[in-house]
């Protein structure tokens, strides 16, 4: 109807003109009757009107409308934990400190190059990532750090966002801490009793102090909160890499002044009530290895399998993966998550290490974190032919000049080096370190100054006073604070990356020479999917890494925990959201989504309001973490013949562990 109405008056108007025109030039007029312009304008007008109408309706809609719809469909929702506990009469008691993990904290620009004009104090990381699409190369340039120092490149200052806004939402609508904050606010928490310990998660832990004095700020803020809240100790809630960061902080704060914070040996006992670690990668994550090795993890590998050629191409001449790799390799903090404890923890060539077996047992060894070829991953160790890569000549890359400005250390490596790496066939947690040293010497040189991945033989050795050991729970003692509590809270029930099958890339000139072999799939219910072996965990961190320290390493009085700080393991079984309306779910166990898990939030609120671990009900375990072999068994199983650094030889530490670890009788 409407469409017909519009052209009509125009026809009448033009009638006379048309008549005139006809006499002169009859051809074009007949076409004009259904000119597209009219309908187009009309159509655009319609779209605009509808758009404005919808916008108006959206703005006029009461804020609680989505909730009505949800309740109408699914029935009344359960009370959020904050409301429930408020009804129980809980009140804010202990101040809380949040320690965000890697990538969830926002970063903003304070000084930049020309291409970043107008971005002063705008978020480069977090938020909408608008700049990533507008000027990707500029963005990568500003997010990268200096390759030698691991600090800012000259002329660029990117700093963490401060305050609760730093990590409440990662991107609009994607919550990280927001749900927890909202629930804590219900029982009376506010800005003065909540503190987000925002730090630059790209640089190594000690460098956050050197550059930004972040550790000093955290110390000062905790002291202030304790003083202004009537002497009540704080409850610290680190998430993901924040767990390691806070471990580093606890050692730093008690160490004497130039290297540490000079708080004295009872600082933690005086100021901290509980450390409630959420999804902590205490012993590292295998994902970190592939991230450094080939800038890919399961997600990228799956994407590559779905759309082969897309990521490999010089898409828009951007060389996406290479740029990502170059950027992430400048971030020292990623090296804090390389698996720790070597073969003793993660398993050697012929043992599984400490694992929760979720899928069917098969002839596969989880200890082999990186294998070249599926058959190698499953073969017996005696049948694998390996040539040592250490000391192999790297050779020169012929294509060195053609790779433009992208710099990954692979360009310094020739075909010989790449072949040597592939010929070694199998890498365990111990030899992974050697591998990384081989392929990325500069990065690892930086990393070695800040992190360590071994197990300590003798913790009294003065060398362990160096800050590089502070974030490794296997090479430090917990502070002397018998009243402090340590919780390990993490999700279980999601397949989590544990080991990888690799292959050589087809083109080796400018690309990353290795990639995950996505064609390597196991049988139907096997753990091998798309080149990745999966175990139980929270999608990012395997149970081994998240729970082992609290379940075994620190349980009772051990040498890592000399004052016998009580530890609690709280696992949360993953249940995917029932309907779309639930969003990311209220019972999720996934690494980040667990921050919206009602059961976890309830536990945290109870502790913040004064409860102890016993009040919560002690351990809550779904995985078989307590049934796992003793550490000593693990150590004796491990028998790799390779050139293992002496510190990782299980024989040497066996006695020490046996004496101290299990004397509590657990």
Angle at 480 between CA 479 and CA 482, to 5 degrees: 115
How far is it, in rounded angstroms, from Cα 652 to Cα 541? 29
Nearer to other proteins, 225 or 269 (CB): 225
538 is catalytic: yes
C-alpha span between 601 and 183 (Å, rounded): 8
Q: How many residues bind other proteins (CB under 8 A)?
A: 37
Whole-angstrom CA distances from 38 to 5, 7, 43, 48, 285 are 11, 7, 8, 15, 61
CB of 165 to other proteins, least distance (A): 7
**Rule CB under 8 A: is residue 63 a binding residue for other proteins?**
yes
Nearer to other proteins by Cβ, of 30 and 228: the residue is: 228
Phi, psi for residue 293 in degrees, rounded to 5: -75, -45
Q: Which residues of 472-491 are buried (b: 16+ CB within 10 A; e: fewer)?
A: bbbbbbbbbbeebbbbbbbb
Per CB under 8 A, the segment of 36-44, 59-67, 311-319, 325-333 that binds other proteins is: 59-67
The residue (of 209 and 475) whose beta carbon lies closer to other proteins is 209
Asked whether the beta carbons of 159 and 151 are under 8 A apart, the reply is no
Token pair, residue 606, equals 């109870």
Choose between 35 and 128: whose C-beta lies nearer to other proteins: 128
Is the separation of the CB atoms in 584 and 596 below 8 Å? yes
Q: Residue 404 Cβ, how far from other proteins at the closest point, in Å?
A: 20
CB of 152 to other proteins, least distance (A): 11
Which of 117, 405, 524, 525 lies at the binding interface for other proteins (CB under 8 A)? 117
Residues 249-278 that bind other proteins (CB under 8 A): none
Stretch that binds other proteins, among 179-187, 516-524, 584-592, 630-638 (CB under 8 A): 179-187
Taking CB under 8 A as the criterion, which residues in 305-344 touch other proteins? none
**Closest among 250, 239, 253, 285 to 105, alpha carbons compared:** 239
Q: Give the x-and-dash track for 619-658 against other proteins (CB under 8 A).
A: ----------------------------------------
User: Could you say which of 240, 294, 431, 638 is catalytic?
Assistant: 240
Stretch touching other proteins by CB under 8 A, among 157-165, 400-408, 468-476, 522-530: 157-165
User: Cβ closer to other proteins: 156 or 489?
Assistant: 156
Burial 200-225 (b: 16+ CB within 10 A, else e): bbbbbbbbbbeebebbebbbebbbeb
The residue from 70, 147, 216, 526 that contacts other proteins (CB under 8 A) is: 216
Out of 160, 284, 479, 491, the only residue in the binding site for other proteins (CB under 8 A) is 160
Tokens, residue 373: 């070829």
From its phi and psi, is residue 252 left (phi > 0), alpha (psi between -120 and 50) or beta? alpha
The 10 Å CB-count burial string (b at 16+, else e) for 139-178 is bbbbbbbeeeebbbbeebebbbbbebbbbbbbeeeebbbb
Nearer to other proteins, 273 or 329 (CB): 273
Q: State how beta strands 157-160 and 169-171 pair.
A: unpaired
By CB under 8 A, residue 128 contacts other proteins: no
Q: Which is nearer to other proteins, 229 or 381 (CB)?
A: 229
Residue 644 and residue 341 in contact, taking contact as beta carbons nearer than 8 Å: no
C-alpha–C-alpha distance, residues 324 and 318, integer Å: 10
Binding mask 191-210 for other proteins (x = CB under 8 A): xx------------------
Our CB check for other proteins shows the closer of 52 and 110 to be: 110
Which CB sits closer to other proteins, 160 or 339? 160
Q: Which of 43, 52, 68, 110 contacts other proteins by CB under 8 A? A: 110
Query: Quick one: how many helices (H) and strands (E) in the chain?
Result: 26, 17
Binds other proteins (CB under 8 A): choice among 224, 306, 578, 655: 224
**Contact between 581 and other proteins (CB under 8 A)?**
no
Considering the complex, what minimum distance in angstroms separates the CB of residue 188 from other proteins? 8
Looking at the Cβ atoms of 188 and 642, the one nearer to other proteins is 188
The question of whether 638 is a catalytic residue gets the answer: no
Question: Which one of 55, 77, 227, 578 is in contact with other proteins (CB under 8 A)?
Answer: 227
Binds other proteins by CB under 8 A, chosen from 4, 5, 8, 121: 121
For every residue of 100-150, DSSP letters joined together read: --TTTS-EEEEE--GGGTT-BT-EEESTT-HHHHH-HHHHHHHH---TTTS
Instruction: Indicate whether 111 belongs to the interface with other proteins (CB under 8 A).
Output: yes
579 touching other proteins, by CB under 8 A: no
Q: Is-catalytic flag, 388?
A: no
Taking the C-alpha atoms of residue 387 and residue 373, their distance in angstroms, rounded to an integer, is 15
490 beta partners: 571
Instruction: Kindly report the number of other CB atoms within 10 A of residue 182's CB atom.
Output: 15
Q: How far is CA 642 from CA 24, 368, 379, in A?
A: 95, 13, 17
- Among residues 132, 151, 182, 504, the one that binds other proteins under rule CB under 8 A: 182
Asked if 190 interacts with other proteins (CB under 8 A), we say yes
61 binds other proteins (CB under 8 A): no
Q: What are phi and psi of 45, to 5 degrees?
A: -60, -45
- Which is the catalytic residue, given 591, 593, 603, 638? 591
Closer to other proteins by CB, 177 or 427: give it. 177
Minimal distance, residue 8 CB to other proteins, in Å? 38
The CA–CA distances, whole Å, from 248 to 38, 132, 242, 282 equal 69, 32, 10, 12
Question: Which of 29, 70, 147, 229 touches other proteins by CB under 8 A?
Answer: 229
Note whether 568 and 486 are within 8 A (CB). yes
At closest approach, how far in Å is the CB of 365 from other proteins?
Answer: 48
358 within 8 A of 371, measured Cβ to Cβ? no
**Residue of the chain from 75, 76, 89, 118 that contacts other proteins (CB under 8 A):** 118
Residues 290, 375: Cα–Cα separation, whole Å: 20
Q: Outline where 467-597 has alpha helix (H).
A: 543-548
Least separation, in Å, of the C-beta of 113 and other proteins?
10
Nearer to other proteins, 82 or 279 (CB): 82
Should residue 54 be labelled a site residue for other proteins when binding is judged by CB under 8 A?
no
Minimum Å distance from CB 259 to other proteins?
Answer: 15
Q: Which of 152, 343, 538, 619 is catalytic?
A: 538
The helix (H) or strand (E) run that includes residue 87 is: helix 81-88
Which residues contact other proteins by CB under 8 A?
Answer: 59, 63-64, 110-111, 114, 117-118, 120-121, 157, 159-160, 162-165, 168, 181-182, 185-186, 190-192, 212-213, 216-217, 220-221, 223-224, 227-230
Known catalytic residues are 240, 538, 591
């Amino acid at each position: 109807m409407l469409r017909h109405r519009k052209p009509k008056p125009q026809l009448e108007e033009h009638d006379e003109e048309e008549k005139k025109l006809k006499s002169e030039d009859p051809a074009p007029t007949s076409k004009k009757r259904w000119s597209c312009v009219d309908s187009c304008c009309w159509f655009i007008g319609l779209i605009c009107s509808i758009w404005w109408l919808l916008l108006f309706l959206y703005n006029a809609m009461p804020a609680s409308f989505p909730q009505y719809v949800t309740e109408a469909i699914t029935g009344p929702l359960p009370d959020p934990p904050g409301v429930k506990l408020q009804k129980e009469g809980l009140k804010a008691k202990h101040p809380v400190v949040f320690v965000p993990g890697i990538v969830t904290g926002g970063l903003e620009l304070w000084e930049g190059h020309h291409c970043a004009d107008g971005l002063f104090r705008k978020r480069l990381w977090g938020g909408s990532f608008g700049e990533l699409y507008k000027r990707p190369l500029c963005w990568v340039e500003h997010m990268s750090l200096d390759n030698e120092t691991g600090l800012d490149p000259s002329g660029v200052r990117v700093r963490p966002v401060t305050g609760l806004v730093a990590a409440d939402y990662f991107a609009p609508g994607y919550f990280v801490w927001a749900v927890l904050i909202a629930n804590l606010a219900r029982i009376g928490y506010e800005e003065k009793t909540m503190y987000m310990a925002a730090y630059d998660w790209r640089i190594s832990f000690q460098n956050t102090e050197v550059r930004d004095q972040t550790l000093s700020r955290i110390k000062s803020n905790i002291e202030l909160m304790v003083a202004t809240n009537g002497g009540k100790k704080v409850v610290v809630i680190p998430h993901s890499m924040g767990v390691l960061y806070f471990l580093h902080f606890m050692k730093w704060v008690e160490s004497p002044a130039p290297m540490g914070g000079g708080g004295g040996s009872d600082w933690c006992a005086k100021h901290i009530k509980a450390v409630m670690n959420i999804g902590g990668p205490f012993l590292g994550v295998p994902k970190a290895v592939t991230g450094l090795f080939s800038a890919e993890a399961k997600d990228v590998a799956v994407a590559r399998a779905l759309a082969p050629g897309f990521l490999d191409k010089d898409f828009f001449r951007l060389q996406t993966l290479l740029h990502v790799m170059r950027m992430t390799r400048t971030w020292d903090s990623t090296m804090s998550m390389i698996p720790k404890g070597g073969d003793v923890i993660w398993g050697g060539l012929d043992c599984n290490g400490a694992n929760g077996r979720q899928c069917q047992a098969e002839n596969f060894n989880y200890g082999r974190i990186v294998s070249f070829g599926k058959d190698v991953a499953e073969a017996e160790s005696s049948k694998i032919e390996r040539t040592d890569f250490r000391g192999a000549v790297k050779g020169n890359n012929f294509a060195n000049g053609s790779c433009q400005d992208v710099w990954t250390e692979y360009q310094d490596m020739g075909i010989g080096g790449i072949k040597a790496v592939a010929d070694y066939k199998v890498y365990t947690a111990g030899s992974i370190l050697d591998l990384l040293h081989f392929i990325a010497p500069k990065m690892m040189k930086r990393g070695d100054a800040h992190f360590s991945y071994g197990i300590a033989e003798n913790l009294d050795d003065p060398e362990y006073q160096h800050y590089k050991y502070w974030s490794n729970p296997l090479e430090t003692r917990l502070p002397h604070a018998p009243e402090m509590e340590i919780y390990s809270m993490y999700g279980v029930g999601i397949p989590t990356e544990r080991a990888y099958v690799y292959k050589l890339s087809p083109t080796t000139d400018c690309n990353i020479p290795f990639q995950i072999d996505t064609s390597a799939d196991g049988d139907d219910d096997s753990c091998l999917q798309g080149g990745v072996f999966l175990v139980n965990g929270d999608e990012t961190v395997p149970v081994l890494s998240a729970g082992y320290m609290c379940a075994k390493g620190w349980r009772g009085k051990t040498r890592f925990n000399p004052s016998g700080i009580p530890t609690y393991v709280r696992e949360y079984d993953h249940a995917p959201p029932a309907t779309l309306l639930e969003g990311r779910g209220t019972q999720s166990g996934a690494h980040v989504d667990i921050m919206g898990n009602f059961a976890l939030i309830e536990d945290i609120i109870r502790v913040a309001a004064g409860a102890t671990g016993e009040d919560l009900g002690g351990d809550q375990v779904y995985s078989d973490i307590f049934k796992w072999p003793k550490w000593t068994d693990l150590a004796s199983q491990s028998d790799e013949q390779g050139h293992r650094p002496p510190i990782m030889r299980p024989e040497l530490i066996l006695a020490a562990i046996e004496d101290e670890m299990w004397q509590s009788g657990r």
